[in-house]
Amino acid sequence: MICPDLAVPSYIIFSADAPPLLYYSHIPAIVISLFFGFFVYFKNKYSLISKILLSMSIVFSSWAILNLIVWTSVNSNVIIFSWSFFGILNVLLSILSLYFVYVFIEKKDVSIRIKVLLGLIILPTIIFTPTRYNLSGFDLTLCGCAGFEEKYFLDYYYIASFLMFFWILFLAISRYRKAEQKFKKQIVLLTIGIESFLFSFFITGFLASYLADIGYLKDYRFEQYGLFGMTFFMGMLAFLIVKYKAFNIKLIGTQALVVAQFILIGSMFFFAQSLTNQILVGVTLIGTTIMGGYVIRSVKAEIARKEELQKISDALAIANQRLKELDLTKSEFISIASHQLRTPLTAIKGYISLILEGSYGKVPAVIQDVLDKVYTVNSRLVHLVEDLLNVSRIEAGCIQYSFVQAQLEPLVAELVEMFTPTARSKNLLLQMRLPKKPLPPLTIDPNKIKEVLSNLIDNALKYTKEGGVTVTLEGDKKRARISVTDTGIGIRAEDKENLFEKFTRSKETTKMVASGAGLGLYVGKNFVEAHGGRIWAESPVPSEGGQAPMEGDGADKGSRFIIELPLVNPKIHIGISDQPSPSEKT
Ligand code: ADP
């Protein structure tokens, strides 16, 4: 029964007669709102928004405490005194809610004009609260303890409260449209939280007051449910803080959950009727609090570790970006330098050829010999510059391919013929093996494949002292394979891994042949992969038809380089090539 019996001795707030729901709805809401208000305030003392939130929670708790007194006290003076504050606190709470939402969304204080307007709205309640226009008497017939509320005063404060309710809604909707995506969500959460609180708080109070007034509802118990709205609002604020670091507060979800759990279990005290139950709730509360403390500590440690890792990875990302920029600058430099070198070197090559061919008259034998050497050295330089240019184009992603349908047999034959004099001068046997039945034409860029293959044959001859080099072409229905096998110095196990990286040369080869920059295989791999094919090396050379051992040291056991190209490559369309780069055109 909600009406205290005047004969039963009762304390101001705690009464044996009061229904458990009364305490359950009031006390946790008071504790939560005060806890939250002070928590946000102490975390962020100087911000306006935390001051407003603290004021809201104080006003709300005052209302709830006075309400408890009204429900439980038997002293009519105390009841009437407490009751008289409801109107002013209601209006103040709604004005503070509007102020709170405004500052949260706009991130600035309201203008003086609005402050004056809000002041004017609350003014009548300040003036009339202590007068008989607020509460005019004490109605003993209605439940034995109800204040007699004056209609105009009641109307005024509910109208003012609902006005604030709609003002908040209007403000939120109009700002929502302009806000950025992340902030939109925050506006929605805050508005739902605060509006549901205001709505449940006012509507239940409103129904209780008006329906009771017209004698329809015989008690005011309705009111008690409105207070749960505050807990919901605080839940929303906690979520905003955890998810979006609202109010600039760092709070981890675990902390919020542990506190919520503490309050929920603590609230059960108001329901626990027997001593046994109260002891059980107490033990559970202590147990969960201790465990919660451990959980918070471990989560915090985990977060600290993650933040540390994040810092390191951010620093790495910056360093990486810097490296990429440097790499790009380097590629640009190489590209420009190579361009400047290529033109004079090609001119030198052309003139020496003309001299050697006798276009400027007969060349004496001594000079011929010197010129041959100059020609060879110059050719190497041209080759190197060409490789450097290719590397810078690959890195800038602007290699241009001209795919056509072509046979591989003539291409292989031409290169073998071209290298035969070199092989002969080194006393090496250069042979070629072609398939009995010609392979179908492939979609390739013949110049690029020629460049790759000529580098492989050149390497094989360079790194072989005795024996020979065999170029084999074979194929099946799906792919064509060109392999270049030599009986040379082979490849050591430790060198195999990085063979196709740029600027990679093994110690042995550097000792054997000083020239070479370690770029040919890198360029070749890029060209072959652009054809949808693959290239790899085997050393030691497997026996005829045998499988190459994956591991093993190939030093002095010869090497084999294999290019595999698909017969049909759906990714390549004839006539379509990569964008020509400015460097390609020159
Ligand atoms: P370069 O020959 O100009 O040094 P490449 O990129 O063509 O550059 O070759 C890279 C490295 O691969 C060579 O320096 C050499 O160590 C190794 N290599 C290439 N071909 C052979 C081969 N036929 N036999 C042994 N080692 C080879």
DSSP secondary structure of 271-294: T--SHHHHHHHHHHHHHHHHHHHH
- Kind and range of the H or E run holding 446: helix 446-462
User: Dihedral, CA atoms, 30, 33, 35, 39, nearest 10 degrees?
Assistant: -160
Q: Using the structure block, give the residue that is written with the tokens 């006012």.
A: 202
Q: What is the per-residue pLDDT for 52?
A: 94
Q: What is the pLDDT of residue 134?
A: 75
Q: Is the CB of 423 under 6 A from ligand 1?
A: no
Task: Please compute the mean of the pLDDT values over residues 236-261 and round it to a whole number.
Answer: 80
Question: How far apart, in whole angstroms, are the C-alpha atoms of residue 428 and residue 452?
Answer: 21
Of the candidates 487, 389, 482, 361, the residue with the CA atom closest to the CA atom of residue 433: 482
- Ligand 1, pocket-test mutation among 379, 497, 505, 536, most atoms within 8 A of CB: 505
In CATH, which of 3.30.565.10, 3.40.605.10, 3.30.479.30, 3.40.50.620 is domain 400-584?
3.30.565.10
Q: Is the dihedral of CA 411, 415, 418, 421 positive or negative?
A: negative
431-481 confidence digits (pLDDT tens): 999 999 999 999 999 999 999 999 999 999 999 999 999 999 999 888 999
* Alpha-carbon gap, residue 292 to 259, rounded angstroms: 9
Do the strands 468-475 and 534-538 form a parallel or antiparallel pair, or are they unpaired?
unpaired
Percentage of the chain lying above the pLDDT 90 cut: 36
Which CATH number describes the domain made up of 20-249? 1.20.1070.10
37 CB less than 6 Å from ligand 1? no
* Alpha carbon distance 480, 409 (integer Å): 11
Residue of 469, 509, 513, 553 to test ligand 1 pocket, by largest number of atoms within 8 Å of CB? 509
* Residue corresponding to tokens 């082979």: 490
523 lines ligand 1 (CB under 6 A): no
Least confident of 121-135, 175-189, 358-372, 546-560: 546-560
Q: How do the domains of the chain map onto residue ranges?
A: 20-249, 400-584
Instruction: Please state, in angstroms and rounded to a whole number, the distance separating the CA atoms of residues 500 and 289.
Output: 61
List pLDDT tens digits, range 143-183: 444 556 677 888 888 899 889 999 999 999 999 988 888 88
- Residue 198's contacts (CB-CB under 8 Å, 6 or more residues apart) are 93, 94, 97, 161, 164, 165, 168, 229
CB of 235 closer than 6 A to ligand 1? no
Residue 579's pLDDT is 43
Query: Token match 């072509």: residue?
Result: 406
34-86 pLDDT, tens digit each: 988 998 899 888 889 999 999 999 999 999 999 888 878 777 778 888 888 98
CA distance 18 to 68: 10
From the CA of 518, how far away is ligand 1's center (Å)?
7
Number of residues that make up the chain: 586
pLDDT exceeds 60 at position 225:
yes
Indicate the top mutation candidate among 521, 526, 528, 556 to test ligand 1's pocket, ranked by most ligand atoms within 8 A of CB.
521
CA of 463 to the centre of ligand 1 (A): 8
Judge if the beta carbon of residue 499 lies within 6 A of ligand 1.
yes
Of the listed ranges 153-167, 195-209, 430-444, 489-503, the least confidently predicted one is: 195-209
Residue 428 φ then ψ, to 5°: -110, 150
Q: Which of 86-90, 225-229, 425-429 shows the lowest per-residue confidence on average (mean pLDDT)?
A: 225-229
Could you tell me if 533 and 572 are in contact, meaning their C-beta atoms sit under 8 angstroms apart?
no
DSSP code of residue 334: H
pLDDT for residue 543 is more than 60: yes
Give buried/exposed letters for 480-516 (b at 16+ CB in 10 A, else e): bbbbbbbbbbbbbeebbeebbebebbbebbeeeeeeb
551 or 193, higher pLDDT: 193
The answer to whether the CB of 53 falls within 8 A of the CB of 194 is: no
Q: How far is the CA of 493 from the centre of ligand 1 (A)?
A: 14
Give the closest residue (by CA) to ligand 1 atom 14.
505
- The answer to whether 96 touches 55, Cβ cutoff 8 Å, is yes
**Which one is predicted more confidently, 340 or 20?**
340
Q: At 537, phi and psi to the nearest 5?
A: -120, 150
Q: Report d(CA 1, CA 11) in Å as an integer.
A: 16
Write down the pLDDT at residue 585.
Answer: 38
CB 543, CB 532: distance < 8 Å:
no
pTM value surpassing 0.85: no
Q: Tell me, using a 6 A CB cutoff, whether residue 505 lines ligand 1.
A: yes
* Mean pLDDT, all residues of the chain: 83
Top pLDDT among 162 and 339 is at 162
502 CA: nearest ligand 1 atom: 6
CA–centroid distance, 505 to ligand 1, in Å, is: 6
